[in-house]
Chains A and B, each alone.
Chain A
Amino acid sequence: MKKKTLLIILAVLVVLAAVLAVVVSNGQPKKRASEVIITAEGTNVTYDLKTLDLTDVKASVTRANGKTLKIDAKGMELKDILKGFAKYDKVKVTAGDSYSAELTYEEINKDADVYVILGDGGKPRLIILSDTDARRDVKDVLTIELIR
């Protein structure tokens, strides 16, 4: 194998990535920055966070690695957002970059713990105050899927 062959492989991969990027982009639901799409039993409901009754969320979360996350934003508890929906066992929150996190019904219904706030650029962000790591800190929330 020569360098030229590698360059051809690289070119093929770039083309393949471009095609896949179009496929992935087309597969994503379209929404405005501050909106979240809630999927329950096959139906999608879009909420614009800005139009909801948001409150000030101020908290300081210290993670296991010693880093402190200061939160000072407008937001709403996730359990309040999901109030009108049928019973669910868990929720899958997926970001625009396909990163996702799962929460159980019990976790969501803890008082003052799980919030969806307006993050950078007015994009919805999932924050779990009791989590010791940032594993379920989902920025740019795209969909919230209710799973039975």
Chain B
Amino acid sequence: MKRISLKYLIFMAVCCDLGIIAKKLIAPAANLITDNLHIPGGIGTSFSLLFLVTAAFIVKRFGAGMLMGLVQSGIAFLLGNVGSMGALAPLGYLIPGLVIDLCVLLPERTGMSEDVRIVICCALASVASSLTANVIVFGLVGPVLALYCCTACISGIVCGFIAALLCKRLRPVFANDRQNVKKEGPET
């Protein structure tokens, strides 16, 4: 894994925090929807993952997703926020992180624009997170599991579009900074 600069690490840490806060904020509204669908979740996590996907596509280093997942699980443990997963909660953060890392590696020659890759990444990470929770805690089967995954995928796609927008807005900030470092480089 290539070294990640301190600036990117700080950005990733902020995204981890934002992810946890977003999940907390969206939880009441998400629960309202999932209760009516008779499924135990699948929406809130996508809002958490959208920040991880944004950071991963800005940083573009393999391992960034898993690193953020690890940090998020650490924060969740410290806040006593592990939910029903208990001691297995880190898995629920690491697996989506791994999926994000694999999606970042998707080659550009696949013909997909980066926006599309971000949306697919967010959707896949969201479904991976839901399936992990299902294996560890819920044990859903049949139509309920299908609905649970379908809901996770829908919210993942919606959050993916938001992540793509965020990436578009944030990329110039980091690109400008890179140019400045290059300009300042020879003088120092």
Residues of A participating in the B interface, judged by any CB pair closer than 8 Å: 1-3, 6, 9-10, 13-14, 16-17, 20-21, 23-25, 27-28, 63, 65-67, 95-100, 133-135, 140
Contact = CB atoms under 8 A, between A and B. Distances in A.
Given A6-B157, A97-B34, A1 B86 contact: no
Interface stretch (B1-9, B46-54, B90-98, B140-148): B140-148
A20 B115 contact: no
Contacts of A97: 34-35, 37-40
A17 B154 contact: yes
B157 A13 contact: yes
A95 B37 CA distance: 12
B150 interface: yes
Contacts of B113: 2-3
Contact of A133 (B39, B86, B153): B86
B115 A100 contact: no
Given A6-B119, A24-B143, A25-B38, A66 B80 contact: yes
Contact of A135 (B35, B81, B84, B148): B84
Contacts of A99: 40, 84, 138
A20 B157 contact: no
Contacts, number: 82
B3 to A, nearest CB: 33
Interface string B96-117: 0000000000000001110110
Give the size category of B's interface with A.
20 to 34
B14 interface: no
A99 B138 CA distance: 6
B154 A27 contact: no
A76 to B, nearest CB: 24
Interface of B: 34-35, 37-40, 80-84, 86, 111-113, 115-116, 119-120, 137-140, 143-144, 146-148, 150-151, 153-154, 157-158
A27 B145 CA distance: 13
B147 A3 contact: no
18 contacts: A1-B111, A1-B116, A6-B116, A13-B150, A17-B37, A24-B147, A25-B38, A28-B38, A63-B80, A65-B82, A66-B80, A95-B40, A97-B34, A97-B40, A98-B38, A98-B140, A99-B84, A135-B84
B119 A135 contact: no
Contacts of A140: 35
Contacts of B120: 1, 6
Given A6-B116, A20-B146, 4 more contacts: A1-B120, A10-B154, A21-B37, A63-B80
A14 B83 CA distance: 28
A3 B116 contact: yes
A79 B41 CA distance: 30
Contacts of A25: 38
Contact of A17 (B137, B144, B150): B150
A13 B143 contact: no
Contact of A100 (B35, B37, B139): B139
